[in-house]
Structure 1
Amino acid sequence: MVFESWACASWIAKVTLYLAVAMVVGGSLSGFLLKPYIDIKDKLLKYILLGACLGVVSSLFGFAVLVGSFSNTGLRGMLNDQYISLLLNTAIGHVHVIRILSFGLIALFLAVVVMRKPIHFYTWQKLLLGLFILPIIYSFSQLGHVVNSTVLAQILLSVHVLTMSIWLGALYPLWLSTQRIAGLPLKQCIHLFGVIASFIVAILLLCGISVALMLIQNIDVLLNTPYGYGFMIKMVFVLAILSLAVLNKYYFTPRLQQVNVAKIFGYAILFEMLLGLSILLTTGYITTVVGID
């Protein structure tokens, strides 16, 4: 398998990892906010469980791709014992192990919760879920562009990943709300999401811009490199999703008691999900296939 194929496989692993983190983090917060709605809560627990399982698969696949790219002996190289042992004793290997274990514990924990009827989350269970999520978020600062940067840059990246995951991972629960709730309860629910999203987006942009300024210190990198081109495409998607979020908050939300508006709002959320996926695809591409160097 040539280098480009390994890079493409790594891209797929990175994007599925992003999706998994968003489903777990955004789904968890949404589940707590929508807990009065039993039917939605059940579906969100399964959504988070699916995200955790996807996280295990993406982390295993990402490590296998890493092994295969080192052994360079085709698909069978992904199972090369020598390189598996070697990479497991590196910082990169440790990050993958942490992700696999954390996602695995979340999946096991939620599987037990889902099987119990009626489903109920105690405070200690919420804290335990958050404890399992933290190592996953932290792991992003231990790989990639900021691994050799300052502690501040690593913290900013971790917070950026966390807020991005909350926002994008909450889009499916938002859409689900438009399908299961109507009238004033829907308006109140979406308004609450909007208030929280305002703070989340502000932190997301602050951290994202700060990390970008630390990494792109030369305008030539932005204007004359594949990484710069990809970054600008990502910014177009970001501006588009921000514009749509503003439209949702100030136009659709005040009118959600109207049935026809609620239906259009549901389609707007689906389009926002598509833009979010485009952001993840572009981010994964410039951080794996292209690189900033």
Structure 2
Amino acid sequence: MILTEFEILALLSKWGIYLSVAAVIGGAFMLALTRPQPDEGTYLRDYFGFGAVFGLLSITVNFFVQVGSFAEDGLQGMLGQQMLLFIWQTPVGDALAWRLAGFSLALLGSRWLFHSGLGLSRIANALLMVSVIVLGASFSLIGHSTEMNIWAQGLIALHILVIGSWLGSFYPLWHMCSDTALSDLKHTMDKFGQLGIVIVSLVLATGGALVWMLFNHPMELIDSDYGRAILLKLSLIMVILLIAALHKFILVPRLDSPQSSDAEHSARIKLKRSIATEAVIGALILSVTVMLSSLLGPVSLS
């Protein structure tokens, strides 16, 4: 399969959207999990801000690329007024509007997150909560979901929220391995491990339900390109689960009262490297998801 320039740009910008959504949702999850003090949570504020700005850039590029692709008139077609208006009135435009609102709210909330005024801080948390819901819901407005019933669209939104909470938490956890007190790091990793069981259960349950709805027959998982891509995504999730088990049973327990500073440093580094590996696999999962939503489609909707 030879991709055109517009298709490559569309894939890259959509991958950017997914990364940004994960950053905002995962950042909100870690904010609720750790409840950091202002001097401790600067990295989370920056994480929100980066996710929001990168998301706004990605959705803008993605929209104009889709306009240009429909216009079939090269770069000039990206700015055609009639085609811009036409695409804006489709589900693509609806999703863009929701994501513009979601990322804008996240950016605004990140600026006020640790403001000294208690009122602004509460408003910031409310804005971040709304942005998470809006971004999750935006995925039910576009792609294969538009051809599915309301229950499937709700499952898609829930799936985005839970998998975003999971994958988007890797950077904050990676950062904490360097700058957080050992007891706090151990406490956070323990809580994340406990909540991770619920998150993973929801990821598998919502994903499994969607697969059940999308396929007419189990053999389509093997016989179709879409099915094989689903299996690849599932395999990558299984690898992350194995790494999570490594954290829970080996790496995190080593944080409990190390015998020396060298032992503590070694335990932190090993955990940090393992989380970085998880993050890379998470990025691969999002890449497969981009391919599923852009280039492939289930037989049931073909």
Q: Which amino acid aligns with 2:125?
A: K
Q: Partner residue of 2:50? A: 50
C-alpha distance in 1 between matches for 2:240 and 2:123: 35
Distance verdict in 2 for CA 1:118–1:186, change over 3 Å: farther
2:277 counterpart of 1:277: no
Q: Partner residue of 1:268? A: 274
C-alpha distance in 1 between matches for 2:222 and 2:12: 26
C-alpha distance in 1 between matches for 2:132 and 2:183: 33
Q: Which amino acid aligns with 2:17?
A: L
For residue 25 of structure 1, report the CA deviation from its aligned partner: 0.8
Range moving further from structure 2, 243-252 or 153-162:
243-252
Equivalent residues, number: 291
For residue 127 of structure 1, report the CA deviation from its aligned partner: 2.1
C-alpha distance in 2 between matches for 1:81 and 1:204: 41
Q: Partner residue of 1:149? A: 148
Taking the TM superposition and a 5 Å limit, the aligned residue runs for 1:183-194 are: 183-194=182-193
Q: Partner residue of 1:96? A: 96
2:212 counterpart of 1:213: yes
What stretches of structure 1 move > 6 A for 4+ residues in a row? 118-121
Q: Partner residue of 2:297? A: 291
Equivalent pair of 1:34/1:40 in contact (CA under 8 Å): no
Equivalent pair of 1:67/1:84 in contact (CA under 8 Å): yes
For residue 112 of structure 1, report the CA deviation from its aligned partner: 4.5
Equivalent pair of 2:109/2:123 in contact (CA under 8 Å): no
Taking the TM superposition and a 5 Å limit, the aligned residue runs for 1:76-95 are: 76-95=76-95
C-alpha distance in 2 between matches for 1:118 and 1:248: 38
Range moving further from structure 2, 255-264 or 159-168:
255-264
Distance verdict in 2 for CA 1:214–1:4, change over 3 Å: farther
Distance verdict in 2 for CA 1:174–1:121, change over 3 Å: farther
List alignment gaps of at least 5 residues for structure 2: 259-263
Q: Partner residue of 1:74? A: 74
Q: Partner residue of 1:7? A: 7
Q: Which amino acid aligns with 1:44?
A: L
Q: Partner residue of 2:243? A: 244
Distance verdict in 2 for CA 1:230–1:160, change over 3 Å: same
Q: Which amino acid aligns with 2:184?
A: P
Q: Partner residue of 1:195? A: 194
Q: Which amino acid aligns with 2:60?
A: L
Q: Which amino acid aligns with 2:186?
A: K
Equivalent pair of 1:8/1:289 in contact (CA under 8 Å): no
Distance verdict in 2 for CA 1:217–1:5, change over 3 Å: farther
C-alpha distance in 2 between matches for 1:81 and 1:167: 40
Taking the TM superposition and a 5 Å limit, the aligned residue runs for 1:95-244 are: 95-113=95-113, 116=115, 122-244=121-243
Equivalent pair of 1:40/1:177 in contact (CA under 8 Å): no
Range moving further from structure 2, 48-57 or 28-37:
28-37
For residue 274 of structure 1, report the CA deviation from its aligned partner: 0.5
Q: Which amino acid aligns with 1:126?
A: N
Equivalent pair of 1:40/1:176 in contact (CA under 8 Å): no
2:42 counterpart of 1:36: no
Q: Which amino acid aligns with 1:111?
A: R
Q: Which amino acid aligns with 1:128?
A: L
List alignment gaps of at least 5 residues for structure 1: none
For residue 3 of structure 1, report the CA deviation from its aligned partner: 6.2
Q: Which amino acid aligns with 1:280?
A: L
C-alpha distance in 2 between matches for 1:121 and 1:15: 32
Equivalent pair of 1:68/1:78 in contact (CA under 8 Å): yes
C-alpha distance in 1 between matches for 2:158 and 2:189: 24
1:122 match: secondary structure: helix
For residue 244 of structure 1, report the CA deviation from its aligned partner: 0.8
